[in-house]
Chains A and B, each alone.
Chain A
């Protein structure tokens, strides 16, 4: 490793209306390295990156590239200087093709018109250089998320990137797709690029990064070479306490009683789940595993009645029920915590109380009006029960960290007092500490005798929590694992069964 730094961010400070978001944070990235930036949600990672790109104006501190001080005021400046970022939520124009997305904002021109031939040629060359097999003329709407991610990286590279920031790039990739991404990163490293890698996944960090900087509450906790670190040590510095066990102890008893029976569930519209049948017992946590695109979400949506089913029967406590829409499902005692918290979960502009009570809003009627008092009492009850960290009930939910937002959403559904909970990636994008609390919550629900369907892409958490795991492959059910069969290898084997 060289002793020269490619990028230096020294003593960066930033406050938002008096609250210190960054407190003298320092980040130094060497060329030809992957530098992992870690920290719980709300630790200040994204604020730091936004300062780097000039999206936020830093209050004080110095940013240097190649030892020269720079001050960007808009993202274009940064791009031109070879600093570029692949955002967690892909910012792409889906209705346009690959090459237009890559050269957006700087189309090659000839005689005042866009030079399509050159654009096509350059794109092809660029994609080949990175071993990405996509036709430059293809419309983005028809391309998978992982390939679209690669296109974003290609775009960054096309700016002659020197410092590349990847913000949780693997959160929606399958392990095979991750490998491809890592290969491209390796390639870029060789070309002298310094990569800042933001992720919550420990195994990834330990494998691909050279150095790690950990932040907590807007401050530096430590910067070390990865070789000197272990998972436990990282977690300890991130949460500021010892986490001896990543999963809470399992104390629940699965009852013999069948709570929910799903028979031959098939969705009507593509993408749809195909012929899925299983039983969920009282007090059971049934995991649902599978690769991205194996239609786990679609299965939950079909059970919940948001997606229409073509065939299939639902029996709850031995009686046939029908969920034709979410209202039916709610009445039948189902709750559904959706996958994309920001898109389909929270009402970002509304406060905690609104977000907590909205599902059961009818319960709070007093005559023709709503009773604020009843809503306040229930909201407070849930805030206390789930230990949600918020200044008060009137805080807008968008100001909470991801983990706390998720708690509010779970609280919303718990107030409906459901028997069956459908949880779709409830811990995605949540830091380690909050994850533990969510796990505890799920286990407590099982202990109360509720049934939980738990979809997750992280195998360790499925294995750590679930009593049985149903594996989906390409829309079909490829098996249900239990007892001694529960291990990562069996899950992987079943995941690829119908691919």
Chain B
């Protein structure tokens, strides 16, 4: 098979998302010249950080031709659990009044455990019951929301938002270092660390190689003796770890957990993946791509927000962006005749 070189039109189309990004940036800068500042840049990166950690998990699922529509609600559950465990001890209406001071890691582990549990159930449905990830995770989305509401109502909390988080938790997530007068949030470093770890897993381990193989040609993976089901399961668990970690950070970044926390996060994650070149055809995608995709998406969101565009229009914009991204992705893999 020869590789066909796209016409100029095709190539322009391939970059159309970057054009959209550029146009939005230019419009923003023209209307609000104040936009150009280091602070806005670090803000965007900070917002992208938690989302990209979540997206890296879901990207693995898309590579094996799966997806996770439940991630948003699961993030809600994870956040609620880690917030409840790490509320400030001086706060009068804590959820667990008798709870002693827990290490931060306890909150993180609890969050990851919750996410892995959900992911494992979906993974089981996909790997062993041969369900489509779409429907398995769609079901889980609803179930997770129910569980989240139950949790928020439990222990006399009565659905009140969970807030007043432990000061250590606050500073761990919202803290920053100052390098040459520039304030760089810790979150950006967490994103980089997570990115490096995930890059190694994807490119240097058997798990990563098998992930690409299963996504690229499941049949080939099977006849090569790869225990496909087990690896599908593992990719879901890995996704759970990412989602749980992202949720743990996002919880404190936002500061308050309600029953609506996490809503539509799966959407941002999936959009980020697709914009970053993770193909729904399976078997294709890179970690730097995912991170870039999420950053592009956050930049567009941030610009719209900065310009004071109503959130209704923001929804429309986000919806259109994912459709355009997928349309471009599909074109790449359709053989031209």
Does B associate with A? Answer: yes
B225 interface residue (CB < 8 Å to A): yes
| Residue pair A114, B3 in contact (C-beta under 8 Å) | no
Interface positions, chain A 270-288, Cβ under 8 Å from B, are: 270-271
B212: nearest residue on chain A (CB-CB)?
A96
B219 interface residue (CB < 8 Å to A): yes
* Min C-beta distance of A246 to chain B, whole Å: 34
| Residue pair A93, B223 in contact (C-beta under 8 Å) | no
B80 interface residue (CB < 8 Å to A): no
A-side interface residues, number (CB < 8 Å): 33
Interface-forming stretch among A100-108, A248-256, A354-362?
A: A100-108
A391 interface residue (CB < 8 Å to B): no
| Residue pair A306, B217 in contact (C-beta under 8 Å) | no
| Residue pair B283, A114 in contact (C-beta under 8 Å) | no
* Min C-beta distance of A103 to chain B, whole Å: 9
The residue that A93 contacts in the complex, of B2, B4, B217, with Cβ under 8 A, is B217
Interface positions, chain A 16-50, Cβ under 8 Å from B, are: none
The residue that B224 contacts in the complex, of A105, A267, A306, with Cβ under 8 A, is A105
| Residue pair A104, B224 in contact (C-beta under 8 Å) | yes
| Residue pair B4, A270 in contact (C-beta under 8 Å) | yes
The residue that A269 contacts in the complex, of B3, B222, B223, B336, with Cβ under 8 A, is B336
| Residue pair A93, B200 in contact (C-beta under 8 Å) | no
A79–B219 alpha-carbon span in the complex (Å): 16
A477–B222 alpha-carbon span in the complex (Å): 42
B-side interface residues, number (CB < 8 Å): 27
A499 interface residue (CB < 8 Å to B): no
A116–B2 alpha-carbon span in the complex (Å): 27
| Residue pair B284, A95 in contact (C-beta under 8 Å) | yes
| Residue pair A104, B226 in contact (C-beta under 8 Å) | yes
B206 interface residue (CB < 8 Å to A): yes
A267–B335 alpha-carbon span in the complex (Å): 14
Given A93-B221, A100-B213, A269:B1 Cβ within 8 A: no
A92 interface residue (CB < 8 Å to B): yes
A112 interface residue (CB < 8 Å to B): yes
Given A75-B225, A142-B3, A95:B205 Cβ within 8 A: no
B39 interface residue (CB < 8 Å to A): no
Question: Chain A residues near B223 (CB, 8 Å)?
Answer: 75, 87, 91
| Residue pair A79, B1 in contact (C-beta under 8 Å) | no
| Residue pair A93, B225 in contact (C-beta under 8 Å) | no
B27 interface residue (CB < 8 Å to A): no
A12 interface residue (CB < 8 Å to B): no
Given A74-B225, A96-B213, A106-B225, A114:B204 Cβ within 8 A: yes
A76 interface residue (CB < 8 Å to B): yes
Given A75-B225, A142-B3, A104:B220 Cβ within 8 A: yes
Given A74-B225, A107-B206, A301:B337 Cβ within 8 A: yes
The residue that B216 contacts in the complex, of A79, A96, A144, with Cβ under 8 A, is A96
Question: Chain B residues near A76 (CB, 8 Å)?
Answer: 225
* Min C-beta distance of B225 to chain A, whole Å: 3
A104–B283 alpha-carbon span in the complex (Å): 14
Chain A CB within 10 A, most for which of B205, B224, B226: B224
A307 interface residue (CB < 8 Å to B): yes
| Residue pair A269, B337 in contact (C-beta under 8 Å) | yes
A308 interface residue (CB < 8 Å to B): yes
Given A75-B225, A91-B219, A113-B204, A107:B209 Cβ within 8 A: yes
| Residue pair A104, B2 in contact (C-beta under 8 Å) | no
The residue that A114 contacts in the complex, of B2, B209, B221, B336, with Cβ under 8 A, is B209
Question: Chain A residues near B219 (CB, 8 Å)?
Answer: 91
B220: nearest residue on chain A (CB-CB)?
A91
Question: Chain B residues near A75 (CB, 8 Å)?
Answer: 222-223, 225
A109 interface residue (CB < 8 Å to B): yes
Question: Chain A residues near B206 (CB, 8 Å)?
Answer: 107, 109, 114
Interface positions, chain B 310-337, Cβ under 8 Å from A, are: 336-337
Can you offer 9 A-B residue contacts whose CB atoms are under 8 A?
Answer: A75-B225, A91-B223, A91-B224, A92-B217, A93-B220, A96-B216, A105-B225, A106-B225, A113-B200
Given contacts A93-B283, A142-B3, 9 further A-B contacts (CB under 8 A): A74-B225, A93-B220, A95-B212, A95-B283, A104-B209, A105-B210, A105-B226, A112-B205, A271-B2
Question: What 10 pairs between A and B have smallest CB-CB spacing?
Answer: A76-B225, A93-B216, A307-B337, A105-B224, A91-B220, A104-B224, A269-B336, A105-B225, A113-B204, A105-B226
